[in-house]
Structure 1
Amino acid sequence: MGNMELSPEQREELLETLKARFEKNMHRHEGVEWADVQAKLEANPEKLWSLNEMEATEGEPDVVRHDQETGEYIFYDCSAESPKGRRSVCYDREALEARKKHKPENSAMDMAAAMGIELLTEEQYRELQELEHVDKKTSSWVQTPENIRKLGGAIFCDRRYDTVFVYHNGADSYYGARGFRGSLRV
């Protein structure tokens, strides 16, 4: 994975970006104070690195919830469309290796693991859609139940006709308009 630490300049720039997004979108995290989020981030530099990876691939991560039981803040990719830097990927390594021709460069599950994040579940995706109407032109892979994956499929979601749709596709498929959204607990 390489160096998972940000320079002081990178940390400062990322925290400024996250704070500005946080303050601009208070509807995503009512009752959460930025100072508390920042303190948690500064105590977990590896999480800052993951957020920087989310930001670098145009995911626009933001706090969407505070888990009262664990004290963790939960970040999701909140970009209007599936993050540009994470599109044209199949679902997972098995699907990537199964492709004989025209292999994509990567898979959603491998990219997420390398970034230190998890793909949103269908439930999390629907939760995000209640906060923001996203993926009106793109779609996003979501965590696929094992029984579907064993049969060669994977699921993805999008918003069309003011409705969230869940679809299926071969896990080895990939499209320029399909990426994935991630979550990170800090």
Structure 2
Amino acid sequence: MTQQRTLPTQLLPANLGNIFRKYEKWIEVYQNFRDKNSAHGDFFKSPKRIEIIFPLKEHPVHGITGLHVIERYDDHGYVREYQYMWKVIVPKIGVQLNHISSWGNEPHNAPGTNPKFITDTEPHHHHHVPGDRSQRKENWDVHTLEQAFEFIIPFLELGDPYPVSNS
């Protein structure tokens, strides 16, 4: 019998100190990357929201990429909404073209939504097609910043391109 998969109901905010320590060998400084939200700059953090970009070691296919993080918090300090976006950060090439992969839980099930965009894990979803953020599918496994790093690291280690059909 197959075990029923469950989705998280309460998520804790990213612990940036732990993230920096655990993933420091994957985070890089680039002279030609001066984004205001860079992990090496004055990124935005408040009790209600954080926005930060972790520049990553250069990928042999995708080039200079980063993990762009946005978390919004509820009144109790839990993550209400998250977006973890692996994207090309140098050169700046626009939202669609810079997209490699991303995960989020902003709702996409408003009345009238095209059924091909509604997922079984709504609102958790995975934008899985490089260069096309409009497509999404189920997201059972990446709901935290640490999980996003763990998903991306094998691509950085092996130098493999992110495939369109990856989960």
Structure with more of its chain in strand, by fraction: 2
Structure with more of its chain in helix, by fraction: 1
Q: Same fold by TM (over 0.5)? A: no
- When normalised by structure 2's length, the TM-score is 0.29
